[in-house]
C-alpha cells in the first residue's frame, strides 16, 4: 500500500534540472500542477461563468456582526432564469429572500451574456453561523411565468454551484459571523517551519541512514526543543511543526491518532515541554493539522472497512464498500473523511480544541480545499471559542479568487502566489522586476489588510529554491531580502537558511526533505545573512506594518527599490539583480523628524554598502546581485 503523501500543492512528481532554468512550463507544474496549463485555465474559467454560480462571492469578504452581507450570483448558458433565491439557515431559523437582477455583461469567450444578481443576507449577531443555498428558477417552469395551460406546474430549480436539481443536494455555503481579527502576534511573526523527521535528532544522537528518502532519518521533538535558541537567532518567534501525531510515514500527513504524538518523534509530554519552553521565550507553536483525510490504519477506518454495521461507515464516502472509497488524490492509504457527517466533524473539532487547551497557538490547515466550507465555519468558531488569539491559516494552492473564498473562515492563507513570483523573478529570472512589481502591487491591494498571507521561498512539497536557482546563493539572498521586507509574515523552511539544496535532478518531492546539516556542514555565511534579516525585521516594525511605495525601478539595469513607511519610521530597500556593480540615486524624503530634511546618518544596515545623502536624494552603491536596507 502506498503510504506516501502526495504533494498537497499538486506538484509534478519530478524535480527539474538546473539546466532547464528557463523551461517555465516545468516550473509551473512544480507549484500549481495542471491548474496553470492554458487549456485547464480556460476550462476553469468557463465553469465559473456557465450555469448559476455564487463561488462564495460576498461583500464584505469577511462579514462582521450586525452588518448586512451582499451575495453575488451570476447566471449564463442555455437556461434562462426568472428568479434567483437564497435559502438561509441562521441559528436554526430558516428564511428565504430573492436576489435582484443586476447588470448584463457580454462575455466574448462564451459569446453570450452573463447576468448578475445581488441580494442581502440581513445583519447577524456575533457567534452566528449562517448556512445558505442559492437556486435559480427556470423560466417557464412554474409560477407566473409558466406557459398557458401549465400554470400549476411545479417550478424547476437549479442550484449554485454544483447545478443540483434538488435543494437537499445543493452546495451549502457557510459564513461564521464574528469580530475576531487575525491575532496581533501573527502580524509580527517570523515563522520557522520544522519538518520534524529531518530537522534534528537531538544532542549526541546521529542521523539514521534509511535506504531511501521515504525512510526515517530520526528527527525528534527533543531535537526541536534543543534548537529553540537556534530558531530565535534567526528572528524566529513562531515554530510551525510538521504533522506529529501517530502515523506510519515519515511525513505524518496520514495520522492514526490525533491525541498521541508519534513515538518516533517523542511523547505528548515532550510536545507540552516544547510549548512551555517556547512560550517562556515569547515564541508561539503552530501545529500542522490535516482535516481532509488520515491513514487507512486509523481505527475508525479499520472498523468501517471490516464491520458491515459499524457506526464509522458514515465517516467515509464509499463508491463500493469495502474496497472502493474516496481518498486523497486517489491514494488508498489516505481515505477522505465525510465531514458532512456531524460525528466526524465533531471529532476533529474536539481534537483541535484539545490541543489549543494544551497550549498550541494555532494551526496550519493542510489541503484546505478538501473539506467543505461548512466544516471550516464550524472549525473557526470551535477554535476561537477556546482561544480567540489562535492563528488559523490554510494551505490553498490556487489563484486569488479561490483563496478569497476562505477569508470568512481563516485568519490567512499561505501565499503560494507570492512564492511563485519570487521564484520566477529571482531564482529563475523568467519574470522581470517590472512584472514582479505589477503583480505585487495588485496582490497587496486585492486582499483585506486583516487577512494574513504568510510568505515563503520554498517548502517540503516543492523544489528547494537554491536548486531552482542553479546553486546561486546570491539569487536566494535577493529573494530572501524581499521576503523579509514585505509586510506579510515570512516563513523559513528549515534548511533554506543554511544552503540545503537537492541531490537528484530527477527525484520526487521527497528531495526537498533532505535532513538539516549541522556544524561544519552549514553555510555559515548564508546563515548569518538570514540572521541579519531576522534581526532587522525585529528591530524595525515598519517592515511588518508600514506602507510600501516603489521609488526606483530600472528593468534594463536590474535595479529596484521601495520605501516602507509608518508614522515614526522609514526604511529604504534597494536591490541590484544584475551581474555588475550599480549605483542607485533615489529621490525621496527620508528625514526622521521632518519630511523636508534628509537624515545624514542613513546607512545600509544589511551589508554595510556605502550610502551618500544629499539634499533631496539617497545614493547607494551595490555590488552585483546584492541589496541594502537603509535606515
Judged against a pLDDT cut of 80, whether residue 9 lies above it is answered with no
Question: Does 5 or 540 have the greater pLDDT score?
Answer: 540
At 98-138, the pLDDT tens digits run 999 999 999 999 999 999 999 999 999 999 999 999 999 99
Assess contact for 575 and 478: CB atoms under 8 A. Answer: yes
Judged against a pLDDT cut of 90, whether residue 33 lies above it is answered with no
- pTM comes to 0.93
Question: Helix/strand/coil (H, E, C) string of 340-388?
Answer: CCHHHHHHHHHHHHHHHHCCCCEEEEECCCCCCHHHHHHHHHHHHHHCC
Question: Helix/strand/coil (H, E, C) string of 528-594?
Answer: HHHHHHHHHHHHCCHHHHCEEEEEEEECCCCEEEEEEECCCCEEEEEEECCCCCEEEEEECCCCCCC
Any idea what DSSP says for residue 400? H
Per-residue confidence band for 594, with pLDDT thresholds at 50, 70 and 90: very low
Assess contact for 16 and 30: CB atoms under 8 A. Answer: yes
At 612-621, the pLDDT tens digits run 998 889 999 9
Judged against a pLDDT cut of 90, whether residue 216 lies above it is answered with yes
Domain spans of the chain, in order of start: 65-176, 189-291+344-543, 295-336, 546-630
Assess contact for 285 and 274: CB atoms under 8 A. Answer: yes
**C-alpha closest to that of 406 among 354, 370, 440, 441:** 370
- Mean model confidence pLDDT for the chain: 92
Q: Do domains 65-176 and 189-291+344-543 have the same CATH topology?
A: no
**CATH value of 189-291+344-543 in 3.40.50.300, 3.40.50.10280, 3.40.50.620, 3.20.20.80:** 3.20.20.80
At 397-437, the pLDDT tens digits run 999 999 999 999 999 999 999 999 999 999 999 999 999 99
The CATH homologous superfamily for domain 65-176 is Immunoglobulins (2.60.40.10)
- The mean per-residue pLDDT over the stretch 354-374 comes to 98
**pLDDT at position 599, please?**
79
- The mean per-residue pLDDT over the stretch 552-575 comes to 97
**CATH class in words for 546-630:** mainly beta
**pLDDT at position 26, please?**
55
Window from 14-23, 90-99, 567-576 with minimum mean pLDDT: 14-23
At 276-297, the pLDDT tens digits run 999 999 999 999 999 999 999 9
**pLDDT at position 467, please?**
94
Long-range contacts of 31-34 (CB under 8 A, 24+ apart): 31/397, 31/416, 31/419, 31/420, 31/423, 31/462, 32/397, 32/398, 32/416, 32/420, 33/9, 33/397, 34/10
Window from 150-159, 436-445, 476-485, 530-539 with minimum mean pLDDT: 150-159
Judged against a pLDDT cut of 50, whether residue 344 lies above it is answered with yes
Assess contact for 115 and 75: CB atoms under 8 A. Answer: yes
Long-range contacts of 546-551 (CB under 8 A, 24+ apart): 546/487, 546/570, 546/571, 548/444, 548/486, 548/487, 550/437, 550/441, 551/586, 551/587, 551/588
**pLDDT at position 28, please?**
46
Bridge partner residues of 129 (DSSP)? 176
Per-residue confidence band for 508, with pLDDT thresholds at 50, 70 and 90: low
**pLDDT at position 110, please?**
94
At 264-277, the pLDDT tens digits run 999 999 999 999 99
Per-residue confidence band for 153, with pLDDT thresholds at 50, 70 and 90: low
**pLDDT at position 598, please?**
64
* Phi–psi pair at 241, nearest 5 degrees: -95, 130
Per-residue confidence band for 459, with pLDDT thresholds at 50, 70 and 90: very high
| CA torsion through residues 88, 92, 94, 95, sign | negative
**pLDDT at position 509, please?**
76
What percent of the chain has a predicted confidence (pLDDT) above 90?
87
Residues 6+ apart with CB under 8 A from 12: 26, 29, 30, 33
What percent of the chain has a predicted confidence (pLDDT) above 70?
91
Window from 35-39, 52-56, 221-225, 354-358 with minimum mean pLDDT: 35-39
Any idea what DSSP says for residue 323? T
Amino acid at each position: 500500500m502506498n503510504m506516501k503523501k502526495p504533494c498537497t500543492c499538486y506538484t509534478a512528481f519530478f524535480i527539474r534540472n538546473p539546466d532547464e532554468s528557463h523551461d517555465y512550463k516545468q516550473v509551473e507544474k512544480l507549484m500549481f500542477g495542471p491548474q496553470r496549463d492554458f487549456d485547464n485555465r480556460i476550462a476553469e474559467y468557463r465553469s465559473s461563468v456557465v450555469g448559476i454560480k455564487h463561488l462564495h462571492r460576498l461583500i464584505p469578504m469577511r462579514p462582521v456582526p450586525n452588518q448586512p452581507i451582499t451575495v453575488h450570483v451570476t447566471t449564463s448558458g442555455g437556461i434562462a432564469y426568472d428568479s434567483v433565491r437564497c435559502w438561509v439557515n441562521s441559528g436554526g431559523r430558516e428564511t428565504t429572500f430573492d436576489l435582484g437582477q443586476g447588470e448584463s455583461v457580454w462575455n466574448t469567450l462564451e459569446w453570450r451574456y452573463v447576468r448578475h444578481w445581488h441580494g442581502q443576507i440581513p445583519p447577524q449577531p456575533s457567534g452566528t453561523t449562517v448556512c445558505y443555498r442559492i437556486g435559480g428558477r427556470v423560466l417557464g417552469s412554474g409560477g407566473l411565468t409558466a406557459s398557458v395551460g401549465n400554470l400549476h406546474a411545479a417550478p424547476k430549480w437549479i442550484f449554485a454551484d454544483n447545478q443540483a436539481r434538488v435543494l437537499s443536494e445543493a452546495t451549502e455555503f457557510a459564513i461564521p459571523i464574528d469580530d475576531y481579527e487575525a491575532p496581533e502576534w501573527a502580524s509580527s511573526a517570523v515563522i520557522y517551519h520544522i519538518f520534524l523527521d529531518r530537522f534534528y535528532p537531538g544532542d549526541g544522537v546521529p542521523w539514521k541512514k534509511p535506504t531511501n528518502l521515504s525512510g526515517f532519518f530520526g528527527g525528534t521533538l527533543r531535537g526541536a526543543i534543543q534548537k529553540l535558541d537556534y530558531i530565535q537567532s534567526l528572528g524566529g518567534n513562531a515554530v510551525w511543526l510538521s504533522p506529529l501525531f501517530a502515523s506510519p510515514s515519515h511525513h505524518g500527513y496520514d495520522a492514526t491518532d490525533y491525541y498521541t504524538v508519534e513515538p518516533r518523534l517523542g511523547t505528548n509530554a515532550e510536545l507540552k515541554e516544547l510549548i512551555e519552553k517556547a512560550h517562556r521565550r515569547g515564541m508561539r507553536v503552530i501545529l500542522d493539522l490535516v482535516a481532509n483525510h488520515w491513514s487507512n490504519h486509523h481505527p475508525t477506518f479499520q472498523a468501517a472497512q471490516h464491520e458491515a454495521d459499524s457506526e464509522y461507515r458514515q465517516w467515509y464516502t464509499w463508491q463500493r464498500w469495502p474496497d472502493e472509497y474516496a481518498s486523497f488524490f486517489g491514494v488508498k492509504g489516505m481515505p477522505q473523511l465525510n465531514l458532512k457527517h456531524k460525528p466526524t466533524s465533531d471529532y476533529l473539532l474536539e481534537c483541535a480544541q484539545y490541543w489549543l487547551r494544551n497550549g498550541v497557538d494555532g494551526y496550519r490547515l493542510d489541503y484546505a480545499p478538501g473539506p467543505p466550507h461548512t466544516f471550516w465555519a464550524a472549525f473557526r468558531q470551535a477554535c476561537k471559542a477556546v482561544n480567540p488569539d489562535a492563528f488559523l491559516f490554510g494551505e490553498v494552492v490556487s489563484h486569488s479568487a479561490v483563496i478569497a473564498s476562505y477569508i470568512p473562515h481563516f485568519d490567512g492563507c499561505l501565499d503560494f502566489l507570492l512564492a511563485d513570483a519570487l521564484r520566477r523573478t529571482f531564482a529563475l529570472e523568467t519574470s522581470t522586476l517590472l512584472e514582479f512589481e505589477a503583480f505585487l502591487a495588485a496582490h497587496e491591494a486585492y486582499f483585506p489588510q486583516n487577512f494574513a498571507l504568510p510568505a515563503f521561498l520554498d517548502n517540503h512539497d516543492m523544489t528547494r529554491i537554491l536548486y531552482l536557482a542553479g546553486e546561486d546563493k546570491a539569487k536566494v539572498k535577493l529573494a530572501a531580502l524581499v521576503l523579509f521586507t514585505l509586510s506579510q509574515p515570512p516563513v523559513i523552511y528549515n534548511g533554506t537558511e543554511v544552503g540545503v539544496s537537492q541531490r537528484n535532478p530527477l527525484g520526487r518531492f521527497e528531495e526537498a526533505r533532505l535532513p538539516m546539516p549541522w556544524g561544519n556542514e552549514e553555510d555559515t555565511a548564508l546563515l548569518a545573512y538570514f540572521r541579519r534579516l531576522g534581526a532587522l525585521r525585529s528591530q524595525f516594525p515598519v517592515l511588518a506594518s508600514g506602507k510600501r511605495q516603489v521609488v526606483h525601478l530600472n528593468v534594463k539595469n536590474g535595479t529596484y527599490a521601495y520605501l516602507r513607511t509608518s508614522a515614526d519610521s522609514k526604511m529604504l530597500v534597494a536591490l541590484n539583480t544584475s551581474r555588475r556593480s550599480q549605483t542607485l540615486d533615489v529621490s525621496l524624503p527620508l528625514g526622521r523628524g521632518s519630511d523636508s530634511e534628509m537624515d545624514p546618518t542613513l546607512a545600509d544596515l544589511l551589508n554595510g554598502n556605502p550610502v551618500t545623502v544629499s539634499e533631496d536624494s539617497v545614493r547607494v552603491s551595490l555590488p552585483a546581485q546584492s541589496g541594502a536596507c537603509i535606515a
